[in-house]
Amino acid sequence: MSDATATVTPLSEAEFIEWAQCELAFVYGERSEEILRRLRQLVSHREEEIDTPARPLWTERSQLLITYGDSILEERDTLPLAALERFLQERLPETFSSVHILPFFPWSSDDGFAVIHYGEVDPKLGDWPQIRRVAEDHNLMVDLVINHVSRESLWFADYIAGSRPGRDYFIELDPNTDVSGVTRPRNTPLLVPVSTRRGTRHVWATFSEDQIDLNYANPDVLLEMIGVMLHYLSQGARLIRLDAIAYLWKELGTRCIHLPQTHAIVRLLRAIMEYVAPGALLITETNVPHHENLSYFGDGDEAHVIYQFTLPPLLLHTLTSGSAETLTEWAATLPPLASGCTYLNFTASHDGVGVRALEGLLPEHEIGALLELMQRFGGFVSMKTDADGNDSPYEINISWFDALKGTRRGADPWQIARFICSQTIMLGLQGIPAVYIHSLLATLNDHEGVTRTGHLRAINRKRWQRANLEQLLDSYSTPTRIVFDALVGRLRIRREEPCFHPEAPQKILHLGPQFFAFVRGPLADGRRLLALHNVTDQPQPVHLPEAFREEKWRDIIGNTSLDVETVVLAPYRSAWLVNDG
């Protein structure tokens, strides 16, 4: 495949208007004509600021780094965004095509996901010119924290004072309202009391008492957020991540998750992006069971990219149990991707490892065994409240490197090999790979951060001092150096291999529970890539179907020719075999 594939054709103005009119009519009914007029004015005002020529959605070079703006710190006179830019230039040139800088706006909690002001860069991190400089060298991914705002935001100050515009931007309910049927990702109360000029009121807060949900039944809220998205695009963003989008629309008497109005708003945002920024990507973040997650592709008209939330917990199960059986069965059932749609494959992120995606895939005793093991390896388990009022596991909080320090038998000497195997599996699967900076650096559990902040997710959000990090990267025997070199090496191999194009076909092979194996391709010239992974702590002979034994294969990881009839993979060893057409 070449960089010329999947080039986007921009929507015409007439196509955009027709699409937007349809979605607004569904959500807002008879008010839609007035809302459409205001939307067209908003888009017309902003579109001249957005310089995005039509280009391919993705290629085999599409690789994403996830990082906070201050994950790497230098001396006091260097702002963190400048330190990040320098690290990317000096340590990771030509490695990542895209960078996701997690919320870099002024915030009050949740490390950025309680936004105080959407249009500003936190001055402790840097400024918009520094953001734009990163965007000049990489496709920049920016969070649109669309479901909620900080209670310290100006909009919520308006609500408390009873002033416009924020007075009508939030959902106020009688505290005796039955909200037990609402799907919750947390175990905190849904309705939060706040003191206002009208007395105590109770407002909807899905995630925390500091993250107050916005009321999208008010179209002014939607237009505000569209303006924010257009601003990010004007500042160089080329990937927009819709944070917690599943909970956007609320309607009592429903579960208040994945409602049709939410999907319509996602379609509307996609239409806007395809009109003003063809080639930019819309990404939905929905930490839910797999079949629910897939719904955000719509009919190829919602998200361009969805997070592959099932992959991280299934990989942990696979590599700690020594059996790829469930991973293989799940991967073999992934539906064909519609044109213009793909997965964001990842193992770790700024959040924990979600376990809801395992529902229906693993029996409860297997999920329980995984949770118990992660706690033995220094992690925590965060809970959510179910409709029956009971708490159940929501996510595992642990660094990915420590999560793989052993198997169910306990810690062992294979931690680095097992960890690299997990990343190699992720890098090869169909989709766009996303590597969290703390996976790249083999960061350990940050228990000090948990103690300091009181938040379990801080265990995987360490802030590195650049001097300390450089010392580890320049030493030959540290896990940080070994992992960094191995992953950067595989990322650079991957970006030159056309079989890793997101649109290259994928076929899962069943070689026994000790292996996870798949084929990417064939391409038009007959080129195929055979990915083999030993998921056990024992050497394993590979027995390939006869059709594969008739071809000559070269391992591009080790750059060696292999006789596949006699291949024995060492513990946690991976091979990327190509037949060169």
Rounded Cα distance, 440 and 67, in Å? 10
Strand 72-73 and strand 464-465: the pairing is parallel
- Does 263 belong to an annotated binding site? no
What does residue 126 show for φ and ψ, rounded to 5 degrees? 160, -145
Decide if 420 contacts 435 (C-beta within 8 A): no
Q: Name, in order, each residue with C-beta under 8 angstroms of 571's C-beta and a sequence gap of 6 or more.
A: 414, 417, 534, 536, 537, 538, 539
99 DSSP β-pair partners: 65, 140
3-state secondary structure 8-47: CCCCCHHHHHHHHHHHHHHHHHHHHHHHHHHHHHHHHHHH
Decide if 416 contacts 401 (C-beta within 8 A): no
What is the gyration radius of the CA atoms in the chain, in angstroms? 24
- Does 201 belong to an annotated binding site? no
Q: Is the peptide bond before 165 cis (omega within 30 degrees of 0)?
A: yes
Residue 524 CA: distances (Å) to CA of 2, 57, 506, 527, 555: 11, 20, 14, 7, 21
- Does 317 belong to an annotated binding site? no
Question: Which helix (DSSP H) or strand (DSSP E) does residue 554 occupy?
Answer: strand 553-555
243 tagged catalytic: yes
Q: What is residue 137's three-state secondary structure?
A: helix
User: How many alpha carbons lie under 13 Å from residue 97 in its C-beta half-sphere?
Assistant: 18
- Does 457 belong to an annotated binding site? yes
Q: Which of 18, 126, 57, 68 is nearest to 441 (CA)?
A: 68
Count of residues for the chain?
581
> Based on the number of CB atoms within 10 Å of its own CB, is 15 exposed (0-12), middle (13-18) or buried (19 or more)?
middle
- Does 350 belong to an annotated binding site? yes
Rounded Cα distance, 499 and 372, in Å? 38
- Does 580 belong to an annotated binding site? no
Strands (E), 209-341: 211-213, 237-242, 281-284, 305-307
Question: Which helix (DSSP H) or strand (DSSP E) does residue 66 occupy?
Answer: strand 64-67
- Does 127 belong to an annotated binding site? no
- Does 143 belong to an annotated binding site? no
323 DSSP β-pair partners: none
Residue 288 CA: distances (Å) to CA of 145, 296, 523: 18, 11, 33
Q: What is residue 176's three-state secondary structure?
A: coil
Residue 550 CA: distances (Å) to CA of 156, 544, 579, 581: 67, 10, 10, 13
- Catalytic residue from among 70, 143, 243, 555: 243
User: Crossing angle, helix 219-234 and helix 32-47, to 10 degrees?
Assistant: 20
Rounded Cα distance, 532 and 542, in Å? 9
Decide if 271 contacts 230 (C-beta within 8 A): no
Question: Which helix (DSSP H) or strand (DSSP E) does residue 407 occupy?
Answer: strand 406-407
- Which residues participate in catalysis according to the annotation? 243
- Residues that constitute the known binding site for substrate: 110, 148, 241-243, 350-351, 457
Cite the annotated binding site by residue number.
110, 148, 241-243, 350-351, 457
